[in-house]
């Protein structure tokens, strides 16, 4: 049960990085995972010790309002947290004991109105003027945070930090000309913004890495060029289709196609999508009309590897095997791609089944996709 809640929380956290309106869902999932009553994400101004950005889930609106307007500056939790490093976790007994809580107005007057008592928090980002932190709130009945909750918060921290970084790049600087490009640079998938004639306005780092790894397509300063005439024609048709997106005769399937690869490797998937007017305005080049996405299912995603190792105690080799088989790659093709024997692959697979309890490759594939977070490593 805890494993499923952890996966749900991580997925919700990364979703909130792309859309700040989903932050309450991420906080709600975190609160449920840690057995708490609610959770908050705050960006606190150090000079005033008040939140300049505040998100919550599971807490009464009036309590959130009173906290922001009056009690945030009085909280005994805030001063020590302002001095902490990113990734550092705090909880009540780390800061003060029960007698001190009874004497403090924040604990004796404010928290009881909402049937709250204890907390556990982690610092996401630390700047000279501001600090960002996530906290979960607990009632007396739920009790003080224990080792389980502290460890879970530590494990969630890097995921919250990545999501916060994505959200900050998109929204923290109003009018920032490269906001969309900055966010796209965090993705593991290759992405390019294109003009009407197909020329590149912007290409993220992942796309250039993918192009440099093989002969299936290449990227120069002006365009993405596929290796065969058929693929080039399909790309041209997809680009033409998205520019006629309002035409009901245009089949959406024209904008997606696969790029086959040799040696039993799964194909790249290519998608071309129109840019909305709002997204055009977020780019440094508003003449971009389309977005090209190229996904390599074999691309090693360190976020997934870390989650597999955290959840099931897999080794690096076992986690990479789960990723490969989860994309549809066969054991023989995986052995060939890693220059190891098929016997070694089956040994890794047997140990993976023992550790995870997964009974078949089909279940392994399903679980892998539940964990799939397409972000580049830091």
- Rounded CA-CA distance 247/250 in Å is 6
One of 3.30.70.270, 3.30.565.10, 3.30.450.40, 3.40.50.300 is the CATH number of 2-171, namely 3.30.450.40
Name the fold adopted by 302-370.
Answer: Arc Repressor Mutant, subunit A (1.10.10)
Among candidates 262, 261, 238, 259, which has minimal Cα distance to 250? 238
Q: Where does the chain hold its CATH 3.30.450.40 domain(s)?
A: 2-171
Name the fold adopted by 179-295.
Answer: Beta-Lactamase (3.30.450)
Reading the chain (378 residues) residue by residue, the pLDDT tens digits are 566 788 788 888 988 887 788 899 999 999 999 999 999 999 999 988 889 999 999 998 888 888 888 888 889 999 999 999 999 999 999 999 999 999 999 999 899 989 999 999 999 999 999 999 999 999 999 999 999 999 999 989 988 998 888 777 766 544 445 666 666 776 778 889 998 888 998 888 888 888 887 788 999 878 899 989 999 999 999 888 887 754 444 444 567 889 988 767 788 889 888 876 544 454 455 678 888 999 887 765 656 777 777 778 888 888 888 888 877 788 888 888 888 899 999 999 999 888 888 888 788 777 776 665 555 544
Q: Where does the chain hold its CATH 3.30.450.20 domain(s)?
A: 179-295
Q: Is residue 57 within 8 Å of residue 28, measured between CB atoms?
A: yes
CA distances from 250 to 232, 259, 276 (A): 19, 22, 17
Q: Report helix, strand and coil shares of the chain as percent, to nearest 5.
A: 50, 20, 30
Q: Got the DSSP string for 13-79?
A: HHHHHH-GGGHHHHHHHHHHHTT-SEEEEEEEETTTTEEEEEEEESS-HHHHHHIIIIIGGG-TTHH
- Rounded CA-CA distance 169/249 in Å is 37
Q: Which two tokens stand for residue 129?
A: 């003027």
Q: Where does the chain hold its CATH 1.10.10.10 domain(s)?
A: 302-370
CA distances from 223 to 21, 128, 178, 226, 371 (A): 35, 42, 20, 10, 33
- Rounded CA-CA distance 169/167 in Å is 5
Q: Which one-letter DSSP state was computed for residue 121?
A: E
The pair phi, psi for residue 225, each rounded to 5°, is -120, 120
Residue 280 has a pLDDT of 47
The pair phi, psi for residue 256, each rounded to 5°, is -125, 135
- Rounded CA-CA distance 334/49 in Å is 54
């Amino acid at each position: 049960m805890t494993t499923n809640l952890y996966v749900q929380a991580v997925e919700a956290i990364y979703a909130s990085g792309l859309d700040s309106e989903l932050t309450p869902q991420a906080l709600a999932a975190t609160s449920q995972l840690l057995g708490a009553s609610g959770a908050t994400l705050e960006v606190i101004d150090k000079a005033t010790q008040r939140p300049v950005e505040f998100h919550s889930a599971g807490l009464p609106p009036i309590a959130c309002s009173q906290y922001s307007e009056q009690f945030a500056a009085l909280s005994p939790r805030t001063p020590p947290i302002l001095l902490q490093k990113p990734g550092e976790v705090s909880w009540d007994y780390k800061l003060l004991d029960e007698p001190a809580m009874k004497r403090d107005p924040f604990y004796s007057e404010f928290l009881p109105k909402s049937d709250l008592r204890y907390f556990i928090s982690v610092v996401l980002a630390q700047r000279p003027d501001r600090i960002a932190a996530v906290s979960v709130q607990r009632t007396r009945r739920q009790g003080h945070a224990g080792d389980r909750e502290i460890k879970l918060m530590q494990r969630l921290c890097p995921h919250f930090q990545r999501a916060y970084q994505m959200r900050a790049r998109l929204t923290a600087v109003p009018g920032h000309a490269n906001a969309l490009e900055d966010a796209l640079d965090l993705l593991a998938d290759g992405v390019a913004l294109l003009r009407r004639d197909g020329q590149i306005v912007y290409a993220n780092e992942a796309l250039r890495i993918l192009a440099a790894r093989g002969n299936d397509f290449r990227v120069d300063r002006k365009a993405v060029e596929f290796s065969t005439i058929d693929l080039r024609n399909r790309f041209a048709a997809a680009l033409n289709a998205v520019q006629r997106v309002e035409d009901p005769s245009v089949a959406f399937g024209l904008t997606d196609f696969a790029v086959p690869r040799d040696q039993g490797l799964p194909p790249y998937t290519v998608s071309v999508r129109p840019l909305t007017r709002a997204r055009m305005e977020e780019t440094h080049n508003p003449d971009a009309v389309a977005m090209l996405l190229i996904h390599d299912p074999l691309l090693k995603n360190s976020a997934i590897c870390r989650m597999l190792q955290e959840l099931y105690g897999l080794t690096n080799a076992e986690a990479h095997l789960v990723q490969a088989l989860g994309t549809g790659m066969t054991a023989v093709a995986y052995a060939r791609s890693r220059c190891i024997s098929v016997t070694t692959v089956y040994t890794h697979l047997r140990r993976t089944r023992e550790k995870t309890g997964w009974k078949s490759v089909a279940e392994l594939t399903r679980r892998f996709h539940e964990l799939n977070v397409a972000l580049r490593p830091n």
